[in-house]
Amino acid sequence: MDDPLDIPRGPLDGPDDKSQEKESEAAPVVNAQPSFDSSVELVSSAPADWTTQQRGVSSAEDASRKSHLRHNLLLLLSLTLAAFALSAWILVRVNSPFGSNSSGPQELVRAQLRAVDRGQFRPAYDMFSERYRQQVSFDVWHELIVTHWRMFHGEVLRSGALAQTGLGVTLEIHLRGSDERQYRARFTLIRHSGRWWIDDVHWAEEADEQNTVRT
């Protein structure tokens, strides 16, 4: 008698469990998990490129900053040297009592007038000869300058010609003082030890020949 539970399998039925197990055992195991090798490589390579670019930009910026800093330092050094050279030239030509003597007595007289006008009294006083400084002290001369400052702070209008007098020369300078009056200063200069010195000077107002001030 046929077994009622032994039901024949039809064509529409799927393979039985045993055949499925055998097929699964025989078939190679395929790794269903997706591979991330390419994506990992892409992700890992992207930051490296970006880092390289950033380093290149940073290096270029550092080089630019260093070049700009060197340019500024060189410019500052050039300006400092130029200012120092100009200051030294001014000190030699104006402030120093020996700066204008090599060209003659006229330049010495003008140098003293500029020094007095600018309030540089000690350099102006040092342009006098030793004989004059022994007779007139700096304090006495300075007080005279301060007392008659309107006469000494003026504009040079013209200068006369040098005249020989004994061992020295005389030179007349015509000026307009800060009080708008016109004055005449007669300088006596001597040459000693290879340079010119102011040995004496008399100031007088042009309109009043009797009113003479010796400085």
For residues 39-57, average pLDDT: 54
What digits encode the pLDDT tens for the residues 116-155?
999 999 999 999 999 999 999 999 999 999 998 888 888 8
Which position has the higher pLDDT, 207 or 205?
Answer: 205
58 falls within a domain: no
42 falls within a domain: no
60 falls within a domain: no
Contact yes or no for 198/210 (Cβ under 8 A): no
Backbone angles phi, psi at 32, to 5 degrees: -75, -15
Contact yes or no for 80/86 (Cβ under 8 A): no
140 falls within a domain: yes
Instruction: Please state which of the ranges 101-110, 120-129, 134-143, 197-206 shows the lowest mean pLDDT.
Output: 101-110
Q: By C-alpha distance, which of 117, 138, 118 is closest to 128?
A: 138
pLDDT attached to residue 159: 86
| Integer Cα distance of 94 and 199 in angstroms | 19
For residue 67, CA distances in Å to 56, 62, 63, 101 come to: 16, 9, 6, 47
For residues 24-48, average pLDDT: 48
Has residue 65 got a pLDDT over 90? no
59 falls within a domain: no
> At residue 55, what is the residue type?
R
For residues 66-84, average pLDDT: 85
Q: What residue numbers bound the domain in which 202 lies?
A: 96-214
Has residue 203 got a pLDDT over 70? yes
What digits encode the pLDDT tens for the residues 5-34?
454 554 444 455 544 444 444 444 444 454
Total tally of structural domains belonging to the chain:
1
User: CB burial class (10 A; 0-12, 13-18, 19+) of residue 140?
Assistant: exposed
pTM assigned to the model:
0.50
| Integer Cα distance of 214 and 145 in angstroms | 10
For residues 148-169, average pLDDT: 86
For residue 84, CA distances in Å to 73, 80, 81, 139 come to: 16, 6, 5, 32
Contact yes or no for 154/175 (Cβ under 8 A): yes
Contact yes or no for 136/154 (Cβ under 8 A): no
188 falls within a domain: yes
Mean pLDDT of the chain: 75
Q: Which of 76-80, 81-85, 190-194 has the highest mean pLDDT?
A: 190-194
Contact yes or no for 208/185 (Cβ under 8 A): no
Backbone angles phi, psi at 185, to 5 degrees: -115, 125
Question: Residue with structure tokens 């030890």?
Answer: 193
| Integer Cα distance of 58 and 52 in angstroms | 10
pLDDT band at 160 (very low <50, low <70, confident <90, very high): confident
What's the gap between Cα 181 and its chain centre?
43
Question: Residue with structure tokens 């003479």?
Answer: 212
* Sequence-ordered list of residues with C-beta below 8 angstroms from that of 158, at least 6 positions apart, any chain: 173, 174
175 falls within a domain: yes
**What percentage of the chain carries pLDDT values higher than 70?**
62
pLDDT attached to residue 22: 46
70 falls within a domain: no
Looking at residue 193, which CATH number applies to its domain?
3.10.450.50
